[in-house]
Chain A
Amino acid sequence: MERATYVFDRVYLKGTGTSVGPLEKQGPLGEYFDRDYENNYCGEKNWEAAERRLLSDAIIIAIINSGLKLEDVDLIIAGDLINQNVISNYAMRDFDVPFLGMYGACSTSMQTLLTGSIFINSGMFNNIVVASSSHNATAERQFRYPTEYGGQKPPTMTFTVTGAGAALISSIPSSIKITAATIGRVIDAKQKNPNDMGSAMAPAASDTLIRHFRDLNISPDYYDMIVTGDLSQIGSQVLLDIMEYENYPINKLHHDCGKMIYSEDQKVFAGGSGCACCAVVTFGYIKRLLDTDQIKRALVVATGALLNPMMTLQKETIPCIAHAVAFEKCEVKP
């Protein structure tokens, strides 16, 4: 197997920004998000404009929280779920900064972060903002049905998170270091049901995790917390079973952003999903855990189902991917 884990020596998570919709604010992690809106329109005319607003918020807050200015940012790398990445592309009209758009379905948060980290580690960039967004109404329309259609949903289905998360990563030392990243492979477990993406994505997550541990020659308990993006209730169990079978048990360390972001009594089926799910939980909650020394090391694995409705109608199976990024608390040298 080719080596796919890259170790960084000078990449730091300087500041993060998160902006969410009302349901996410009401959830158990509500207090960790920087900004929230009373309804899903976020003060805009339509859903796409609302998602752009969330993305712009997150980027601006991340820059402010870093104590830097927009002029200090060398590059923005962002992505979302909507056709042609229009949310990121259109939001960038307001930012006078070089931009790279990326698509990795719900793995976009870590895909942009690991790309940015490699750029910074190369020495060619100093400050990069990475961001990703999703919106329940835009994603439902894109991947399933418009919400107004009122189609029935099975309990295995996930619920797209409305929000956006951004991080400013930098070569200037700060207390959280990005130490390593593993780039995922496209894994197709021959699953066809687009209403159960958690199970489809679990094999991709396990592939990336196992390669991460093997490449670095570490065991899962090197980390205090291993967080997957949006496997939700069903997919998480599949992942735990695979990891147990592969002799890398992670039962005690594993958390899933899709399960963390909503509470049991919120009607979200199997849990949260979408680019924003992993982004807001990582850049809101996990960042806070590291800041307050509750954990020292965290591995975040964002999972993405690389399907679109046309492929599903053509009876294709669902290819999936997962990217992992490791965060470590470090002492800042004055």
Chain B
Amino acid sequence: MCGRILADLGADVIKVEPPGGEADRLRPPFIGDVENRERSIPWLAANVNKRGVTCDLTSSDGPALFARLAATARIVVESFPAGRLAELGLQDLFRDAIVVSITPYGQDGPLARVPGSDLEVTAASGSLWLAGEEGRPPVRTSQPQSPYWSGMYGALGALIALQSRVAQRVDVSAQAAMTTVHPPAPVWWDIARDEHARTGPFLLGRSNVGSRFRNLWACADGFVSFAIQGGPIGRHTGRMLAEWMAERGRVPAVIAAIDWDRFDNTRLSQDQVDELEAAIAPFLLSLTKAEFFDGVVKRKMLGYPVGDASDSLADPQLSARDFWRQISPAEGLPPLPFPGGFALFDGKRPEVRRPAPRVGEHNGEIYAEVGVGPLELGRLREAGVV
């Protein structure tokens, strides 16, 4: 993902894989449910906009070949287990480059050599602790998130290092990356010695008296995100809710009694919160996600439906901003909607401009660029190096 972001920004990113392709090419799910090296959805998502070569770093000629390629790079991104780069004898190749190393726990420290996947680093970051129902096991996001966070921070570290004009190591820890995704929980512990934990659909940290507020509600065809809020926009939201309820029938007495100009959610007791929420629940249950979305947008209220992939693709805001990019993610596959570039630069969105590379697709072109002629490449191919 680190390379993907740099590639989106226009860098010439070359993916180096072992002959036959890297193992992640077989990570499910697959396009059309056909399991092969060109169809892994998570792999394609992370590797469009790149060129690709193969190189067997464990073969006798591999490191020398890789060295010629690496000599042309300003940034090298690697995610070997800590220490593996040195074992392969590759570390000295990068004296003049910025080397981004992404590992579960970092390059050194007591856990540096401990293996971990998304689940373990998320557990060790506190993020897992904060998600789930009380009394039930903590849960992780079903679309693994730590590779994205680690990759994004790797790209950020690389670009900061680039400004320094000094060759150096950027050491990304996935555990540390996942630790940055859940403030203010650490602030609550540090300043107030209040240990926040998972509370299902309830939001903590909005009260001065320890009350919690429901933030996910059942609606007619799914769920919506809505909360009793303070502040100018929160009070406006409450006032609009009361009006909306009146339009659709009846305003419950506890809601009608509120003076929204003076409403302060941070001082409500849990009983008061529960009473208000019980009065709101039937109203939200009567609305579809689409009705709720139209209503909150029209009234400038805080709140959104709980969206899914189909909702994102149908969202008028994203279409209006020309967000989606239809491209075939690999040769021979039908076009699919990719999220477009993550920001507009002078009104222009970085493009998804090339599909992900097939295994070794650019061996000829890229090795020629670094002075490996067709004869030598043929020899390397026969030796199984590429």
Task: Indicate whether A and B interact.
Answer: no
Chain B residues packing against A (C-beta within 8 Å): none
